Amino acid sequence: MVSRLSALVGGPVGRHALLGRTRFFTPLRAMLLLAVVFLALGWFGKAACIQQAPLGPDGGLGLDWSNNRQYVAMCYSDVVPLYGAERLNEGAFPYATSWEEPGADGQMQTRYMEYPVVSGLYQYVSMRVAKAWDSVSWLPGGLQVAIYFNVVALGLAFAWLATVWATAMSAGRRVWDAALVAASPLVMVHAFTNFDALATAFAAGGLLAWARRRPVLAGVLLGIGAATKLYPLLLLGPLLVLCLRTGKMRAFLRTLGAAAGAWLAVNLPILLLYPQGGTSSSA
């Protein structure tokens, strides 16, 4: 579809085309702009859930989630409730702080931050930025959780742009195929629902490094991606099949070793410093 629509601006990229030689509107920049538009639509979709209303005692401001508004308006995001549920609103460091809550059997259980280390630290850094912003009187103010959501969303938007960039660079002559990523309807719905854009950036970067014959860098990026969310680790399966078919097992073993080393380098300090919290996050 994108290839046919590109006829309006000169047609699809040809076999002998030289990409990136125009002054401004290269295919990559056009797709990054398209991604920004879809990210903006995604933010506006979540905006209803960070609206403030006088809901607290004595008319104090609170998030307007009354009458299940987060579901009725289809604006729910894990980012907002996790700010309190993970004790980030108290300035707590992930994996060092625990709390009690009822389990499935009704018994009280001790809970820790259960997100992988990179995702957990991203939440912590975003919280520190939000609190720093909130402490400056001359900056636009609001509920701290609303500021926190916007800080998180900004970082996720950059991560998604990195995903689009790496995908376009991996596509070679079929660069417009990356428009399927930039303009995916899922971006409008779920770009800011959780922290998955961080993992997609590492995964797409790892595949780009592999395509450019840099197996160690590919392994490092996939390993860090696995310390963000599990799914980048699953890409090692197709790479294994590819290497078995093409006789490139040495390159695969280098990638596998680099991935394991990067994952361990990220997780080991947390496991050593906070054994219980670290075990919960890496399980």
Question: Looking at the domain assignment, is residue 216 inside a domain?
Answer: yes
- Per cent of the chain over pLDDT 70 is 90
Q: What is the total count of domains within the chain? A: 1
Question: Looking at the domain assignment, is residue 96 inside a domain?
Answer: yes
3 state DSSP class of 54: strand
pLDDT digits (tens, 9 = 90+) for 61-71: 888 888 888 99
Q: How many CA atoms lie within 13 A of 65 on its CB side?
A: 14
Please tell me the distance from the alpha carbon of residue 52 to that of residue 56, in angstroms, as a whole number: 10
What pLDDT does 281 receive? Answer: 60
Question: Looking at the domain assignment, is residue 18 inside a domain?
Answer: no
pLDDT digits (tens, 9 = 90+) for 217-256: 999 999 999 999 999 999 999 999 999 999 899 999 999 9
Domain that holds residue 137: 2-9+28-282
- pLDDT higher for 259 or 106? 259
3 state DSSP class of 111: strand
Q: Is residue 95 within 8 Å of residue 270, measured between CB atoms?
A: yes
What pLDDT does 264 receive? Answer: 95
Question: Looking at the domain assignment, is residue 40 inside a domain?
Answer: yes
Question: Looking at the domain assignment, is residue 19 inside a domain?
Answer: no
What pLDDT does 82 receive? Answer: 92
Burial string for 237-257 (b: 16+ CB within 10 Å, else e) reads eebeeebeeeebeebbebbbe
What pLDDT does 274 receive? Answer: 84
What pLDDT does 107 receive? Answer: 76
Question: Looking at the domain assignment, is residue 79 inside a domain?
Answer: yes
What pLDDT does 283 receive? Answer: 52
pLDDT digits (tens, 9 = 90+) for 99-147: 777 777 777 787 888 899 999 999 999 999 999 999 988 888 888 999 9
